[in-house]
Amino acid sequence: MDKNSAIGFGLLVAILIGYFTYSNYEQNKFQAQKTADSVAYAIAHPKPLVDTTKLAVATTLDSTTQALNDSARKLLPAAFNGTAQDVVLENAKLAITINTKGAYPSAAQLKDFKTYDQKPLYLFEGGQNSMSMILPTNNNAVASSDLYFTHSLTQAPNGDQSLELVSDMGDGKKVIVSYLLPKEGYMLQYNIRLQGMPATTVPLTWHLVGNHTEKDVHNERMATQIYYQFKDNDDDYFTVTEEKNEELEKSVSWLGYRQLYFSTALIAQEGFSKVKIKSNTQLPEKDIVSKSTFGFELPVKAGAEQAYNFQWYIGPNDYETLKAYNLNLDNMVPYGYGIFTFVKYINKWFLLPLFTFLASAVGNLALVLILMTIIIRLALSFFTYKSFLSTAKMRVLKPELDELREQCGEDKQKFSMEQMKLYKTAGVNPLGGCLPMLFQLPILLSLYYFIPTVLPLRQASFLWAKDLSTYDSIASWPNEIWGLSAIYGNHVSLFTILMTLSSLFLAVYNRNNTPQDPNNPMMKWMPFIFPFFLMGFFNKMAAALTFYYFVSNMLSILQQFIIQKFFIDEKKLHAEIQANKLKPASNSKWAERIAEIQKQQANKGKK
């Protein structure tokens, strides 16, 4: 081969190499762009976007981009090509972990609290927690949870921390997420800005997995509730005792999740619409209380930029703490609901101030409960005295009632009429023993709701009880016992036993001081059966509650003894009753009405 032929052949080879190199480059570029478009479409369209609560990304960005070669990966926009990092915002109360992939809180630690096992308390943490929007992009859509963000963390001179995360999707499309955590408190400021993405709807999905933090996961699950407040300030809730699916008919201003002593709530300045909630506590995992998904849509404004402002509460479910934010979040404290809604006002205006004052003055919470019991018993002493006085009058009249019963024989209608005449002439109200007790019932119900919600009682110890907010177990067994475990549980609570024994002693004491109706044998044994029923019910309750009822029973016995020993003279009472018989009877309209009804019934019996 001559020199000219060699040069020509070399040029031909160079041209071919250049052609194949350029062709390979263009092919890689085309394949990278095609893959990126496919990724965006796969992320946004795992299924038709109808139910945002069931949003599931079937093909993740990571699994697809791992297959791209290095040169193709460099061609993707910054939003689709990055490295996930954890960034922590924290103050004295709260530590929030935010991942640069998705730009949402993946973990929340409450620094003032520990779990029952004395480990750091995370209300939620792990990959199943997310906050994701569906974003429009080139006739397709992408989930914000799969975008990578660059971040900038700053701290203000006053101690506030702020974090800005930016995801550049190319072609002027950006997602900007910012957080502000004040130096104090549990309220996180959370803002989203979408640039270059005009949309008709912006669906948002919040996945929340609540961690197990207390002694008994069963009690935590029983207390799990979802709260929400509508834009018209009406509010509602539901308890998650099983898998629940709710679709709200109106737009809401905030959504809240309550888990016994802790809660989180997302508050939207513009509100949420088309809210769908799915929550489940029937889970095999013992370290998880519930899994919840909140799907909703954000309002869309005119123009290519959308801005949304939120507040995100993550903290204790404490009444005073929540009330301080002036957003009605204190409604998440269950001071009374359903048919017993009225007792929440007793809790807010009487029991809570009383407990707070005593706790600040005394300190020892067990002593606080004892002092509360004494104060409440003294406050109700007037009604207690009236009840015992009525019982004493009935006891004084018992010989005369026995005589009437013998005279009337089997004619119960006649005996009832003669009994009413005797009560009327003696000036005795047959309901006098019941009505005072009814006035005490609201206080008893209020305490039932109040004590299990008191945050300071959590992990407070007294005697053998390590934690007054849960049951005090002196014996337990691991295996389920059919029937017994479902009703009583797999443990023995000593305070519950003491409460039951004191209730039985009180029943015996009352029986010896209360005239018995021989025609109603069921009422004779009910006071002895009822404490055993309560024992099964209260065995799983907070030790503070059963301790309170035990102390209340003992004080009631002491109070009855003092009243009957020093304040009621039955001889003097008998003389007053006999004197009342000599006075002319003055019938009330109610007594006249009862007498008329009894007379009509007697006449019907004769026909």
Q: Where are the domains of the chain?
A: 3-79, 80-333, 343-591
Q: How far apart are CA 142 and CA 46, in angstroms?
A: 11
Percentages helix, strand, coil for the chain, rounded to the nearest 5? 45, 25, 30
pLDDT for res 75: 64
Q: How is domain 80-333 classified at the CATH fold level?
A: Beta-galactosidase; Chain A, domain 5 (2.70.98)
pLDDT greater than 60 at residue 267:
yes
Which amino acid type is present at position 233?
Answer: N
Overall pTM > 0.85: no
- Which range of 283-292, 394-403, 425-434, 506-515 scores highest in mean pLDDT? It is 283-292
To 10 degrees, what angle do helices 543-566 and 521-538 make?
A: 150
User: CA-CA distance, 109 to 90, in Å (whole number)?
Assistant: 9
- Give the range among 161-170, 505-514, 541-550, 558-567 with minimum mean pLDDT: 505-514
CA dihedral 494→495→500→504, nearest 10 degrees, is 100
Q: Which residues contact 506 (CB under 8 A, 6 or more apart)?
A: 553, 556, 557
| Average pLDDT of the residues in 31-38 | 45
pLDDT tens profile 210-229: 999 999 999 999 999 999 99
Q: What is the DSSP string of 517-538?
A: -TT-HHHHHHHHHHHHHHHHHH
Ramachandran region, residue 85 (left: φ > 0; alpha: ψ -120 to 50; beta: rest): beta
Residue with tokens 């957003």: 327
Q: Which has more pLDDT, 181 or 477?
A: 181
Give me the half-sphere count of Cα atoms (radius 13 Å) on the Cβ side of residue 366. 14
What own/partner pairs with CB < 8 Å and gap ≥ 24 does 334-342 have?
334/223, 334/225, 334/258, 334/449, 334/453, 335/446, 335/449, 335/450, 335/453, 336/445, 336/446, 336/449, 337/237, 340/445, 340/449, 342/442
Return the minimum-mean-pLDDT range out of 15-24, 48-57, 69-78, 402-411.
Answer: 48-57
Q: Are 203 and 276 in contact (CB under 8 A)?
A: no
Instruction: Check: CB of residue 444 under 8 Å from CB of residue 520.
Output: no
